[in-house]
Amino acid sequence: MTTDVKVPTLGESITEATLGQWLKKPGEAVKADEPIASLETDKVAVEVPSPVDGVIGTLVVQEGDTVEVGALIATIEAGGGTSAGQVATGTGTEPRAKAEETVPPPAAEAPKPGTQATAAAYGNHEADPQSGQTLPMSPSVRRAVAEHGLDPAGLSGTGPGGRLTKEDVVKAAQSRPAPAPAAAAATPAAGARREERQRMSRLRKTVASRLKEAQNTAAMLTTFNDVDMSAVMEARAKYKDLFEKKHNVRLGFMGFFVKAACQALRDVPSVNAFIEGDDIVYHDYADISVAVSAPNGLVVPVIRDAHTMSVATIEKTIGDFGKRAKDGTLKMDEMKGGTFTISNGGVFGSLMSTPIINPPQSAVLGLHRIEERPVVRNGQVVVKPMMYLALSYDHRLIDGREAVTFLVALKNAIEDPTRLLIDL
């Protein structure tokens, strides 16, 4: 009996995806609900589960192909299947002993773990040191293995099913002992030039398209201010241990900024509004999009009804988003919507930037690094921990006065956090 595997529903308005990686090979046994492929959508990676127990039959599409929702991508045959160590032929398998008759003996001993080897020596797969099976490697992992000269058979994977991830390869390379001086002879000649061509991921193409659309559509302008972080830093230092003990989450700065932004959005509602055709759509709620880093690029999950949340709830939500963004388990619905965006480039060391609006939103707040700078207080030059704030906004909807008013309200709340408690 043959069962078809089709592209599942990916979310509202998403009609196609890219086949990023096959997690199973023809002839391998698979359990119901076990992931067999990874799809790249415009926002996140989605795993395709097996609908039944059986054996992987035909793989209809190749990695990198674009597939539509409902399209056939593979078949699953009834049966016990084989391990990855057995050789697959067509939609069935051959026992290992029979396959070995047609394979000539190796010309040389395989490289030992820890010696230099390229990904080409292992094809598209890595050896599982515990089971002796071979597991598929994604293109980025193969490339990282080749660049660092590692033997994938000697590496431990932390990905699904024990597969290697790029982070596993980088970590192994960093922990590898420094090569002996004699190895310097193998380094490329001085002045050697090389280049690499890599296909743009669907996520990166979507980000590029949307950012360019924002530049072409909105009348973007950026206004700046700076904020003294002394009060927030003192509060954090004083209460961080009690906060973590009670709420089981660290007290960061984003909780303060999200609360302050929600209060400022209430005072200046146009910053929280959209242009839709000839209409302006105002919102009596604040769904805050927060940019977080993921392996494939920046993603922007949404804190729903942030205006109703405590600082602790906001910190927990952001922490959960960050963890699941790294794991690639964010859901489509968590990426949709949002009325206002906060992007924190300060975690990467940015001093100042002009962030780009996330359509159809009308404004985005950029946070930057905190550094001590001389400022004047009561006629005296003192050193304070300062941060630059940047608000990029659509001038078609938001006037300069409103943009500045928003930033000043935000600045006042951060410099005097008591305002957040007594609603000033």
Does 60 lie in the same domain as 3?
yes
307 is catalytic: no
Total domains, the chain: 3
CB 187 within 8 A of CB 116: no
Does 97 lie in the same domain as 127?
no
Tell me which residue range forms the domain holding 159.
115-177
Contacts of 211 (CB under 8 A, 6+ apart): 356
Of 82-96, 134-148, 204-218, 266-280, least confident by mean pLDDT is 82-96
Set 33, 395, 416, 423: catalytic member:
395
Domain-embedded: residue 210? no
Domain-embedded: residue 95? yes
Name the pTM for this structure: 0.60
Does 226 lie in the same domain as 347?
yes
Alpha-carbon distances of 53 from 28, 47, 89, 216, 248, rounded to whole Å: 11, 17, 19, 50, 40
Residue 53 is predicted with a pLDDT of: 86
Domain-embedded: residue 306? yes
| Tokens, residue 309 | 């949340």
For residue 160, name the pLDDT band (cuts at 50, 70, 90): low
Does 121 lie in the same domain as 79?
no
Residue 169 is predicted with a pLDDT of: 77
Does 245 lie in the same domain as 130?
no
Q: How many CA atoms lie within 13 A of 360 on its CB side?
A: 12
Does 380 lie in the same domain as 330?
yes
Phi-psi region of 382 (alpha: psi -120 to 50; beta: other; left: phi over 0): beta
Residue 90 is predicted with a pLDDT of: 43
395 is catalytic: yes
DSSP state of 28: B
Set 267, 305, 399, 416: catalytic member:
399
Q: Which residue has the higher pLDDT, 316 or 119?
A: 316
Query: pLDDT tens digit string along 300-338?
Result: 899 999 999 999 999 999 999 988 888 777 887 888 889
Does 281 lie in the same domain as 159?
no
Does 349 lie in the same domain as 240?
yes
CATH number of the domain enclosing 28? 2.40.50.100
How far, in Å, CA of 114 to CA of 179, rounded? 11
Does 319 lie in the same domain as 397?
yes
Kindly state the average pLDDT of the residues 19-28.
84
Report phi then psi at 138, rounded to 5.
-70, 160
